[in-house]
Amino acid sequence: MPVRMPITRWLAAITLAVLLVEPPAVRAADDSVEDGPAKAADRGQEVGNLIDLGQNFDANVFEQAGGGWTLRGGGLRVRRPSPTGDDGSQPPSSPTLARGRRLGAARLEQIDRLCGLSDRQRLALRLAIESDLRRLAEQIDVERGKYVGVAVNMGGPEGQKTWQQFQEDVQRCRRLLRALFNDDSLFAATLASTLDAGQLERLAAETRARRSFRWKAMVAAAMLRIDDAIGLDEKQHDTIERLLVAREPPLRADDADRQPNPHAEQMLVYLTLASVDQKTLQAAVSDRQWLALSTLMNQGRAMQSWLEEQGLLEKSGR
């Protein structure tokens, strides 16, 4: 027959066990005190300063068609993927090819709509686009590979140095992507040799009309700002507008992927204003207005190198 423990002795034993064993909640509290709120705050600030360069490369090269910058949120460093993936599968297709194919398809559709391409012409142009894209991807994807899976701490000097190099690489890749249909591309050479004389003339006429329309729209928008700044009468307004329209710059003909950039367009008009006949311009305005116009033209001149990065102008006229 089992011996029963008196209730008083049983309660005493339970109390002693509780006193001897430290509660988990107390240990957790002690641990947090040892770590300290300052260290936790430092860790939080460091994570907040981390910028995922791979994500930002894609956003600024393939998604940002204008000359501005998009800064995606920070993130923890992730491991650089292996060439074939952990499961042995092939890596995702090149984003350069994906982006370039969309641009090429839009360009080809635009030409086909205007010129009525034959199957042979369409095939030749598609092959030329693909060849240009393959060469382009070889250059851009190498730069992209340097940043995939890499995050930097923007709060430190090394992070800032890496970010500066990152911006230079992005700008270079943007220029390469914008030059896809330039005169030195296989696509441009194939276009010239594949289209007949009538098709080439229709394409050239459409290009001239599109450029003229865009330039007149830019001039009209900038003239509103000039008028607000210096107060022009109707004759002065017409004179300046006529001088600007006559100095039409070689705007990019391929605008299927163009995003509005009002500031760059305004600066381009000011830069162009600096190239018109200055004697005629000065004679059309008062001394006070001339001083104000000179300031605007100087702003345009100062932005010339920046404007060349914005993709508004062709590398060479077509």
| Long-range Cβ contacts of 141-145 (<8 Å, 24+ apart) | 141/94, 141/95, 141/96, 143/57, 143/169, 143/172, 143/173, 144/54, 144/57, 144/58, 144/61, 144/95, 144/96, 144/173
Does position 301 have pLDDT exceeding 90, yes or no? Answer: yes
Decide: 111 and 203 in contact? Cβ < 8 Å. Answer: yes
Cβ atoms 296, 260 nearer than 8 A: no
How far is residue 163's CA from residue 184's CA, in Å, rounded to a whole number? 32
Global pTM reads: 0.67
Query: What is the Cα–Cα distance from 270 to 223, expressed in whole angstroms?
Result: 10
Least trusted range by pLDDT, from 17-26, 138-147, 158-167 = 17-26
User: For the chain, how big is the Rg over CA atoms in Å?
Assistant: 32
| Model pLDDT, residue 227 | 94
* Cα separation, 262 vs 215, whole angstroms: 12
Three-state SS at 33:
helix
Give yes or no for residue 6 having a pLDDT over 60: no
Beta partners for 74?
51
Query: So what's the pLDDT on residue 141?
Result: 92
Using CB atoms within 10 Å of the CB of residue 187, give its burial: 0 to 12 exposed, 13 to 18 middle, 19+ buried.
buried
Model confidence at 3, pLDDT cuts 50, 70, 90, reads: very low
Would you say 178 and 311 are in contact if contact means Cβ atoms under 8 Å apart? Answer: yes
Supply the mean pLDDT for the chain: 80
Q: Quick one: residue 151, left, alpha or beta (phi over 0 = left, psi -120 to 50 = alpha)?
A: beta
Q: In the predicted model, what is the mean pLDDT of residues 46-66?
A: 78
Model pLDDT, residue 308: 77
Distance from C-alpha of 199 to C-alpha of 112, rounded to nearest angstrom: 10
Q: Which residue in this structure is represented by tokens 């297709």?
A: 93
Would you give the end-to-end CA distance of the chain in angstroms?
Answer: 109
